């Protein structure tokens, strides 16, 4: 998998937008960027993924830079239930292996 | 309806015992996975099965033997349990093989295994 770098922790006020950055400078042209999160004591939960274009779904938005070397996950109106560890993952194309790093621990502050 | 379900949720047992963890998905997916999350919270893939065929065996000791009776089930049997096997084990499934096919994985809520 392409190496990803995320800040270890972030805080965000409830109701504000949470912006989680991820660097993936070694990404290849056909590799997707995926975001997952893990809420305490639960299994990882898929959030969103993208290749080149920005993506939005009911949970979040994903902004990928034009050179694809970094991306930002945006939770538009963070709630206390969004407190979790967020993982940015770039699986190696054609390879089954999937690697979870240490992620970013996001804490939503009331 | 639970998409990926694991049983049991908690498993406490003695060192040296043999135990099994069951996983079932009702999503109609072709591929299923087992992951291990250790005490440091690192999540690592162990096995991957596609239509009952083993695809990934990620340097896991032979004491771990996955079994897929059909594509909706992937069970994990562990022989001669050791202290280092204490972890949370997650089952997952996806519609097609590998992440490159643009299909996310769906995870169960995990089985917390504690070895005494």
**Residues of A with CB below 8 A from B109's CB?**
41-43
Report pLDDT digits (tens) over A10-43: 999 999 999 999 999 989 888 889 999 999 989 9
Q: How far is B18 from chain A (nearest CA, A)?
A: 24
- Whether residue B8 is preceded by a cis peptide bond, meaning omega within 30 degrees of 0, is yes
Report pLDDT digits (tens) over A62-105: 999 999 999 999 999 999 999 999 999 988 766 656 788 899 99
Spatial CA neighbour of A84 closest among A9, A5, A14: A9
Q: What percent of chain A has pLDDT over 90?
A: 75
The mean pLDDT of B79-93, rounded to a whole number, is 95
The mean pLDDT of B68-86, rounded to a whole number, is 94
- What letters, b where the CB count within 10 A reaches 16 and e where it falls short, cover B78-104? beebeeebbbbbbbbbbeebbbbeebb
**Residues of A with CB below 8 A from B107's CB?**
43-45
**Residues of A with CB below 8 A from B54's CB?**
none
Check CB contact under 8 Å for A91 and B98: yes
- What letters, b where the CB count within 10 A reaches 16 and e where it falls short, cover A49-62? bbeeeebeeeebbb
Question: Lowest-pLDDT range, B5-9, B52-56, B73-77?
Answer: B52-56
Q: How far is B47 from chain A (nearest CA, A)?
A: 9
Contacting residues for A41 by C-beta, under 8 A, at least 6 apart: B109, B110
Q: Is B42 helix (H, G, I), strand (E, B) or coil?
A: coil
Check CB contact under 8 Å for A32 and B98: no
Check CB contact under 8 Å for A43 and B105: no
| Closest chain B CA to residue A41 | B109
A62: alpha, beta or left, given left = phi > 0 and alpha = psi -120 to 50? beta
Q: Which residues pair with B80 in a beta bridge?
A: none
Q: How far is A96 from chain B (nearest CA, A)?
A: 5
Q: Give CA–CA dist A3/B82, Å, rounded.
A: 32
pLDDT at B81: 96
Q: Give CA–CA dist A48/A102, Å, rounded.
A: 18
Contacting residues for B67 by C-beta, under 8 A, at least 6 apart: B74, B75, B76, B77
């Amino acid at each position: 998998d392409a190496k990803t770098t995320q800040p270890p922790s972030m805080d965000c006020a409830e109701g504000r937008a949470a912006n989680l950055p991820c660097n993936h400078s070694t990404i290849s042209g056909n590799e997707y960027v995926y975001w997952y999160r893990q809420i305490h004591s639960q299994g990882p939960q898929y959030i969103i993924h993208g290749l080149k274009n920005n993506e939005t779904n009911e949970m979040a938005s994903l902004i990928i830079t034009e050179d694809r070397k970094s991306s930002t996950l945006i939770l538009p109106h963070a709630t206390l239930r969004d407190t979790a560890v967020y993982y940015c993952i770039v699986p190696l194309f054609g390879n089954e292996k999937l690697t979870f790093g240490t992620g970013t621990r996001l804490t939503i502050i009331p | 309806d639970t998409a990926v379900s694991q049983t049991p949720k908690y498993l406490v047992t003695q060192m040296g015992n043999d135990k099994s963890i069951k996983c079932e998905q009702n999503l109609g997916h072709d591929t299923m996975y087992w992951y291990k999350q250790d005490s440091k919270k690192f999540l690592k893939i162990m096995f991957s099965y596609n239509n009952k065929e083993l695809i990934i065996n990620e340097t896991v000791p032979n004491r771990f033997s996955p079994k897929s009776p059909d594509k909706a089930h992937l069970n994990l049997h562990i022989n001669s349990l050791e202290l280092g096997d204490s972890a949370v084990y997650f089952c997952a499934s996806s519609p097609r093989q590998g992440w490159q096919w643009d299909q996310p994985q769906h995870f169960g809520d995990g089985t917390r295994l504690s070895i005494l």
